[in-house]
């Protein structure tokens, strides 16, 4: 029986599901979050709230734990690095620093000879004038974006005039891919060449927010294998420990591109809770805590639907679900438009 206490930075639904998985493994959890209403406090053993640069609160947090992981990538690098001096942080802070910057992330992926969308760094408005080749494109902030936040579709350089973009932040302009499909690979790396990898998951987005995920993905064998190979190469190259997600685009000519890497458990992997013997959350806890690696077995095909905003209300009122349906309510205090409030996985 383990005597480990795991610290988790971030207290949203991913933190909650990590805490639930940890409990099953007898790993205690302390969640640290800047939101006093963070839902993960309902599932962890201890909850500490404070801003991510509050030194006192951070020491209160790290004094209670053996090691630290995180549920989202936008934690200041300095914070993770400081914590790492006292308690191991996994995945390593340097991995997080690389991936939280879209430009550094894409440069890293290209160096591995893995295809990404075409991209260019934009530092000022006039940079876009000479970049017809990258249009139509999407202008994205280099840091702190999620769920399509900080993204602007650009058809021509004139579009910029109508948008009020703050160029004191760094941007990247990405050529728009004519999407046929999006998939993701979730992989948990334990140590050198030791992995558990899930099959490709097919994802559909609405307004740049994930809406549906399903397995099996409707893709050809080449893409099936290439996406897994690329995810393994990325995880190995990063010497990653824990669960990682690689998001991919497939264009209309069946070319595969890496869209982005998430150095954490991922929304598209929620269906692994019910569709596999070991979920992405349990695998993450196992890997970072140095617990046993268990070979993955698929239990069933599955589909997952995110419940955004007030869609949750209908599901909260259902008394009894079918045996193949699994409803998760994140217990968020306020319903907000487009906010991820819960999800439902159906085994099919």
Site residues, ligand ADP (CB under 6 A): 117, 138, 145-148, 174, 176-177, 179, 182, 205, 208, 247, 259-260
Write down the least CB distance from residue 205 to ligand ADP, Å.
4
Residue with tokens 């806890």: 285
Cβ proximity to Mg ion, 146 vs 321, nearer residue: 146
Which of ligand ADP, Mg ion, none is residue 94 near (CB under 5 to 8 Å by kind)? none
Cβ atoms of residues 73 and 91 within 8 Å? no
Cβ atoms of residues 89 and 67 within 8 Å? yes
Tell me the two tokens of residue 48: 């500490």
3-state helix, strand, coil in the chain (%, to 5): 30, 30, 40
Cβ proximity to ligand ADP, 65 vs 138, nearer residue: 138
Which of Mg ion, ligand ADP, none is residue 311 near (CB under 5 to 8 Å by kind)? none
Which of ligand ADP, Mg ion, none is residue 118 near (CB under 5 to 8 Å by kind)? none
Cis peptide before 91 (omega within 30 of 0): yes
Q: What is the Cα–Cα distance from 107 to 273, expressed in whole angstroms?
A: 33
Which of ligand ADP, Mg ion, none is residue 177 near (CB under 5 to 8 Å by kind)? ligand ADP
Tell me the two tokens of residue 188: 């948990």
Tell me the two tokens of residue 255: 């070319």
Q: Which of 41, 86, 38 is nearest to 65 (CA)?
A: 86
Write down the least CB distance from residue 148 to ligand ADP, Å.
5
Cβ proximity to ligand ADP, 183 vs 273, nearer residue: 183
Cβ proximity to ligand ADP, 179 vs 335, nearer residue: 179
Cβ atoms of residues 124 and 167 within 8 Å? yes
Cβ proximity to ligand ADP, 207 vs 323, nearer residue: 207
Residue 155 has a CB neighbour count (10 Å cut-off) of 10
Cβ proximity to ligand ADP, 71 vs 182, nearer residue: 182
Q: How far is CA 234 from the centre of its chain?
A: 15
Which of ligand ADP, Mg ion, none is residue 145 near (CB under 5 to 8 Å by kind)? ligand ADP
Cβ proximity to Mg ion, 89 vs 261, nearer residue: 261
Write down the least CB distance from residue 129 to Mg ion, Å.
28
Pick the piece of the chain touching Mg ion (CB under 5 A) from 96-104, 187-195, 242-250, 304-312.
242-250
Could you tell me which residues come within 8 angstroms of residue 70 by beta carbon, excluding any fewer than 6 positions away?
A: 8, 9, 10, 80, 89, 96, 264
Residue 114 burial (C-beta neighbours within 10 Å; 0-12, 13-18, 19+): buried
Write down the least CB distance from residue 75 to ligand ADP, Å.
15
Which of ligand ADP, Mg ion, none is residue 176 near (CB under 5 to 8 Å by kind)? ligand ADP
For the chain, the straight-line distance linking the first and the last C-alpha, in angstroms and rounded, comes to 35
Which of Mg ion, ligand ADP, none is residue 147 near (CB under 5 to 8 Å by kind)? ligand ADP
Write down the least CB distance from residue 73 to Mg ion, Å.
11
**Interface contacts to Mg ion, rule CB under 5 A:** 247
């Amino acid at each position: 029986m383990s005597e480990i206490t795991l610290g988790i930075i971030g207290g949203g639904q991913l933190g909650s599901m990590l805490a639930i998985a940890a409990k099953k493994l007898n790993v205690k959890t302390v969640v640290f979050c800047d939101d006093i209403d963070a839902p993960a406090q309902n599932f962890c053993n201890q909850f500490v709230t404070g801003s991510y640069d509050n030194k006192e609160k951070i020491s209160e947090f790290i004094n209670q734990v053996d090691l630290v992981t995180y549920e989202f990538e936008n934690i200041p690098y300095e914070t993770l690095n400081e914590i790492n001096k006292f308690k191991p942080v996994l995945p390593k802070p340097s991995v997080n620093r690389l991936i939280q910057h879209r430009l550094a992330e894409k440069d890293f992926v290209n160096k591995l000879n893995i295809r990404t969308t075409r991209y260019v760094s934009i530092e000022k408005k006039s940079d876009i004038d000479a970049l017809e080749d990258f249009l139509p494109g999407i202008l994205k902030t280099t840091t702190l974006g999620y769920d399509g936040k900080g993204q602007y579709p650009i058809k021509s350089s004139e579009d910029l005039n109508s948008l009020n973009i703050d160029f004191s932040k760094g941007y990247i302009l990405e050529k728009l891919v004519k999407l046929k499909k999006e998939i993701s690979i979730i992989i948990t790396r334990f140590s050198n060449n030791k992995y558990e990898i899930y099959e490709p998951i097919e994802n559909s987005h609405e307004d740049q927010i994930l809406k549906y995920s399903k397995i099996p993905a409707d893709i050809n064998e080449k893409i099936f294998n290439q996406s897994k190979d690329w995810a393994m190469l990325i995880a190995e190259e990063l010497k990653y420990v824990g669960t990682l997600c690689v998001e991919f685009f497939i264009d209309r000519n069946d070319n595969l591109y890496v869209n982005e890497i998430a150095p954490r458990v991922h929304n598209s992997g929620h269906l692994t809770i019910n569709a596999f013997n070991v979920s992405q959350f349990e695998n993450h806890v196992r890997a970072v805590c140095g617990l046993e690696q268990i070979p993955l077995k698929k239990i069933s095909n599955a589909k997952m639907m995110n419940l955004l905003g007030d869609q949750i209300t209908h599901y909260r009122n259902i008394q009894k679900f079918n045996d193949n349906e699994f409803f998760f309510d994140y217990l968020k205090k306020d319903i907000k438009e487009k906010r991820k409030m819960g999800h439902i996985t159906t085994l099919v």
